[in-house]
Chains A and B, each alone.
Chain A
Amino acid sequence: MITYIGLENIISPLGITAEENFNQIKQGNTSINYHRGIGFGHENIFLSKLKNTPSFYELLSQCLQAVIKGTEDELILSKDTIVIISTTKADIKENITTPIIAAIKKLTKEFQLQQQPIVISNACISGVLAMNTANNFIKAGIYKNAFVIGADVVSDFVLYGFQSLYAISDKPCQPFDKNRTGISLGEGAGGVFMSSDKNVFKSTCFEFVEGTSSNDVNHISGPSRTGEGLVRTVNNSLALAQLKPSAIDFISAHGTGTSFNDEMEAIAFSRLGMNTIPLNSLKGYFGHTLGAAGLIETAICLQSLRNNLLIKTLGFEEDGASEKINITTRNITTEVTTILKTASGFGGCNASAIIRKLK
Chain B
Amino acid sequence: MNYITTYCHITLNNCYVNGKLTHSFNSNSIDDFTKEFYKSLILEYPKFHKMDRLAKTAFLGTEVLKKECPEILNYKDDEIAILFSNNNSSALTDVNFQTSYQNGGVPSPSLFVYTLPNILIGEIAIRNKWYGENMFTVAEHFDAEYFVNYCNVLLHKNAAAALCGWLTIDDNKIEAFLFFVTKKDFNELNLPLESKQLIELYTKN
Contacts and interface: CB of A to CB of B under 8 A. Distances in A.
Interface of A: 40, 88-90, 92, 96-101, 104-105, 116, 118-123, 129, 133, 136-137, 140, 142, 157, 160-165, 212-221, 228-229, 232, 236, 240, 345-349
Interface residues of B, number: 50
Contacts of B169: none
Interface in B122-154: 122-123, 125-126, 128-140, 143, 146, 149-150, 152-154
Nearest to A119: B138
Contacts of A105: 140
- Describe B's contact surface by its main secondary structure: mixed
A165 B113 CA distance: 9
19 contacts: A90-B89, A96-B91, A97-B95, A99-B89, A99-B91, A100-B89, A121-B89, A122-B116, A123-B116, A140-B156, A157-B97, A160-B101, A161-B107, A163-B107, A213-B133, A215-B131, A347-B121, A348-B125, A348-B126
A221 B113 contact: yes
Given A164-B106, A220-B119, 17 more contacts: A89-B115, A92-B94, A96-B91, A99-B94, A101-B88, A119-B139, A121-B89, A121-B138, A136-B154, A161-B107, A163-B107, A164-B107, A164-B109, A214-B78, A217-B130, A220-B113, A220-B123
Nearest to B101: A160
B134 A137 contact: no
B158 A88 contact: no
Contacts of A161: 97, 107, 109, 112, 115
A310 B176 CA distance: 47
Given A96-B91, A160-B107, A214-B133, A240 B118 contact: no
B98 interface: yes
A221 B108 CA distance: 14
Interface string B39-81: 0000000000000000000000000000000000000001000
B137 A121 contact: yes
Contacts, number: 162
B75 to A, nearest CB: 14
Nearest to A102: B140
Contacts of B165: none
A149 B97 CA distance: 27
Contact of B116 (A88, A118, A137, A214): A88
Contact of A215 (B115, B117, B134, B140): B134
Contacts of A218: 126
B87 interface: yes
Contacts of B204: none
B157 interface: yes
B98 A116 contact: no
Nearest 3 interchain pairs by C-beta? A347-B122, A161-B112, A215-B125
A140 B153 CA distance: 6
B72 to A, nearest CB: 16
Contacts of A216: 131
B135 A133 contact: yes
A348 B143 CA distance: 26
Contacts of B101: 40, 160
- Choose among B91, B135, B156, B158 the residue with the greatest number of A CB atoms under 10 Å from its CB: B135
A345 to B, nearest CB: 8
B106 to A, nearest CB: 7
A246 B101 CA distance: 49
Contacts of B112: 160-162, 164-165
A219 B126 contact: yes
- Choose among B129, B137, B143 the residue with the greatest number of A CB atoms under 10 Å from its CB: B137
Contact of B137 (A118, A213, A215, A347): A118
A98 B138 CA distance: 10
Contacts of B113: 165, 220-221, 346
